[in-house]
Amino acid sequence: MRIIKKILTFNRNMKVKKQLIGIYVIVILIPILIIGVQLTTLMCNMVVDRAINEACVNIERIKERLNEKIKIANSVAESIYVDGKIAQVLKTQFEDSAQIVNTYKDLTIISTYLMHYEEISSIRIYNDNLTLLNNSQFVRATEDIKRSDWYQAALARDSQMEWHLKYDEIRKQYYMSLIRALRDKQKNLLGVLVINFDPEKINRIIKDEPYDTMITINGQVVTTSGNSDPLYEQLDHLRELQVEQNKNYKIKVSNDTGAEYIIFTSFTPVKTFNSKVEICMSMSVNSITGETLKIVRTSLAMIMISLGLSGILILIFSKGFSNRIILVRKEMHKVSLGDFNIRKSIEGNDEIGELYEDICQTVESVKQLIEENYSAKVQKEELKRKQKEMQFEMLSSQINPHFLYNTLETIRMKAYCNGETELAGVVKKLSKLLRRNLEVSDRSVSLASELEMIEAYLTIQKFRFGERISYHIENEIESEKYYLLPLLLQPIVENAFIHGLEAKQGSGKIVCSIKEQNHCLKIAISDNGLGISKERLQQIQRSLHGEQIEERNRVGLKNINERIKLYYGDMYGITIESIEDQGTTVTIVLPKMQEG
């Protein structure tokens, strides 16, 4: 909270122009730049992650296609291994070339495989049978061939299959080759089978890959697409990372062209021994995110242009706004010095223009109020002067009330001495009532004192009329706590007696009820007198709402109602209800006001 208060205090101490520019920078410029950087980073990361996932899927697809071809080679190798005719050819000692040629013509199994499986480029059987003629399928195993790694590996693994990157001495190129020793039932060596995959068919598997890809067999490169040098350089590091086969691993490397991700996996071909195929794929981060960054740069350029234009508009607006505020302040300063001659309006119909119009109206009102106040002060001084002149004349009139009080007190004492205690009490109440009415002022009096005056008035009337009149005051509140204007209740009680009970045949009763309701004082004065006709009641109700009436006997209610509304507000006042020949109820609603 303290930090917020300090920020608000600091902001309030700045000029409006600086506040607007600061709000623009903090609320618009900085958040948009932060969001732009975050979105760019997020988009690049998403693109890279998607590319890595795509590469992993592609590697799995390459692995599946390789395995399909490897299974074909395995199947062919198994068929040749168990084929009795091939074993018989390898063991037979031929006497002449014609016999060999005829045997080769009858032996069609190898040609059939080559015809049916385009993945297989050639099938060769290297042997030691000196009577056989060399062709594309049966090849004499020379001493150089016997000393080669692949030949020695085939002999060492008995009849298990292995995969090697082998140089073919006939076609003068390297092949991914399946190697297997052929033996008879007695485990005697008949020859070494070599099945060469067509390099073009292997290369076709990865030719359409979007990223640089490399396939190796036992660490030797079989085929590549794109630039394989970075892949080959990272092979040893990738092998160190690999914990288990058939699982993808990735690393991020940096070079002169930027960062790259390399995805690597390896697997052992089915039914083979000591052979491992590795698939590597390299993805340049720049190539992956290139298109995305172009779009981002274009978007950022548009955003920067928009921010620049909005910044210029903010500057123009803030300057105009600040100038108009300065103009308003200048005119108000003239008013503060007592100069009310300010310009009548300023340019613009916005809130500042409306504010200035209100200021002009306020200045005119203040100016008029000052003139009226000055005139009122002049009239008040004149009134005081006249009152001073009349004070001497008023001294004589003040003798009459004192004479009246003294005379009533003498009558009361005379009645009391003669044993007329009831008469003495009535005279005392009359004296108190007259004194209260003659000495009344505009100051609020307690509700208790008002109720006391009402009771005095009703006691006097009961003394006059005897059993014809009765009254009851129902007070449900602590009347000493609440205050109200003087002479609000007594005129209503007098109306109830004069217009309700005085002309009535038989006995009458006045009930005064005081209670709290909805946080207000509710005083109801009821009588069971003559009541009021509907037409007359409507006239009285209209008069309470401001309509002028001619009957003088109802002016009192209207004056009381106007006094209440002027002093307490329009939500308070008098309501009247009456039924002819049944009675009238006048209700006064006042606020609960306490002294002070």
pLDDT tens by residue, 66-112: 989 999 999 999 999 988 889 888 888 888 888 888 888 888 888 99
Which percentage of the chain shows pLDDT scores above 70? Answer: 77
pLDDT digits (tens, 9 = 90+) for 466-485: 888 899 999 888 888 898 88
Whole-number Cα distances in Å, 468 to 503, 504, 507, 513, 532: 11, 9, 4, 21, 20
pLDDT of 236 over the 60 cut? yes
pLDDT reported for residue 333: 76
Q: What are phi and psi of 557, to 5 degrees?
A: -60, -45
The CATH number corresponding to 470-591 among 2.120.10.30, 3.30.1330.100, 3.30.930.10, 3.30.565.10 equals 3.30.565.10
Query: CA angle 249-252-257, nearest 5°?
Result: 140
Q: How far apart are CA 530 and CA 301, in angstroms?
A: 93
CATH architecture label of 50-288: 2-Layer Sandwich (3.30)
Q: How far apart are CA 11 and CA 202, in angstroms?
A: 72
pLDDT of 550 over the 60 cut? no
First-residue to last-residue Cα distance in the chain? 38
Answer with the residue of higher pLDDT: 24 or 222.
222
Answer with the residue of higher pLDDT: 305 or 236.
305
Answer with the residue of higher pLDDT: 492 or 371.
492
pLDDT reported for residue 395: 38
Tokens (6 digits) for 174: 């390297």
Provide the mean pLDDT of the chain. Answer: 79
Residue 196 burial (C-beta neighbours within 10 Å; 0-12, 13-18, 19+): buried
pLDDT reported for residue 181: 92
Band (pLDDT 50/70/90 cuts) for residue 390 is very low
Q: What are phi and psi of 116, to 5 degrees?
A: -85, -30
Q: How far apart are CA 439 and CA 65, in angstroms?
A: 120
Residues 6+ apart with CB under 8 A from 33: none
Which percentage of the chain shows pLDDT scores above 90? Answer: 15
Q: For residues 569-589, b (16+ Cβ closer than 10 Å) or e, as one string?
A: eeebbbebebeeeebbbbbbb
For the residues 175-185, what does the mean pLDDT come to? 91
Whole-number Cα distances in Å, 456 to 231, 267, 357, 528: 118, 119, 59, 20
pLDDT of 513 over the 90 cut? yes
Q: How far apart are CA 374 and CA 386, in angstroms?
A: 19
pLDDT of 126 over the 90 cut? yes
Answer with the residue of higher pLDDT: 508 or 26.
508
pLDDT of 596 over the 70 cut? no
Q: What are phi and psi of 43, to 5 degrees?
A: -65, -45
Tell me the β-bridge partners of 515. 522
Q: How many CB atoms lie within 10 A of CB 212?
A: 22
pLDDT of 238 over the 80 cut? no
pLDDT reported for residue 391: 40
Which ranges in the chain are annotated with CATH 3.30.450.20? 50-288
Look at 317-321, 425-429, 469-473, 587-591 and tell me which has the smallest mean pLDDT. 425-429
- Of 254-258, 350-354, 384-388, 518-522, which has the strongest mean pLDDT? 518-522
pLDDT reported for residue 10: 56
Q: In terms of DSSP bridges, do strands 173-183 and 189-197 run parallel, antiparallel, or are they unpaired?
A: antiparallel
pLDDT of 491 over the 70 cut? yes
pLDDT reported for residue 75: 92
Q: How far apart are CA 370 and CA 373, in angstroms?
A: 5
For the residues 435-456, what does the mean pLDDT come to? 77
pLDDT digits (tens, 9 = 90+) for 304-332: 888 788 778 877 777 777 777 777 777 77
- Whether the CB-CB separation of 113 and 123 falls below 8 Å is answered with yes
Answer with the residue of higher pLDDT: 289 or 461.
461
Tokens (6 digits) for 467: 């059993």
Which ranges in the chain are annotated with CATH 3.30.565.10? 470-591
pLDDT of 239 over the 70 cut? no
Band (pLDDT 50/70/90 cuts) for residue 515 is very high
pLDDT reported for residue 520: 92
pLDDT of 274 over the 60 cut? yes
Whole-number Cα distances in Å, 87 to 105, 129, 290: 16, 12, 60
Band (pLDDT 50/70/90 cuts) for residue 280 is confident
pLDDT digits (tens, 9 = 90+) for 201-231: 888 888 888 888 888 888 888 888 877 666 6
For the residues 106-125, what does the mean pLDDT come to? 90
Band (pLDDT 50/70/90 cuts) for residue 527 is very high
Q: Treating both helix axes as pointing N-terminal to C-terminal, what angle do 421-438 and 447-465 enclose, rounded to 10 degrees? A: 130
pLDDT reported for residue 151: 92
Alpha helices in 508-549 (DSSP H): 534-544
Q: For residues 343-364, b (16+ Cβ closer than 10 Å) or e, as one string?
A: eeebeeeeebeeebeebbeebe
pLDDT reported for residue 228: 65
Residues 6+ apart with CB under 8 A from 440: 486, 487
pLDDT of 197 over the 50 cut? yes
- Whether the CB-CB separation of 220 and 149 falls below 8 Å is answered with no
Q: What letter would DSSP give residue 142? A: -
Band (pLDDT 50/70/90 cuts) for residue 394 is very low
pLDDT of 431 over the 60 cut? yes
Tokens (6 digits) for 342: 């300010």
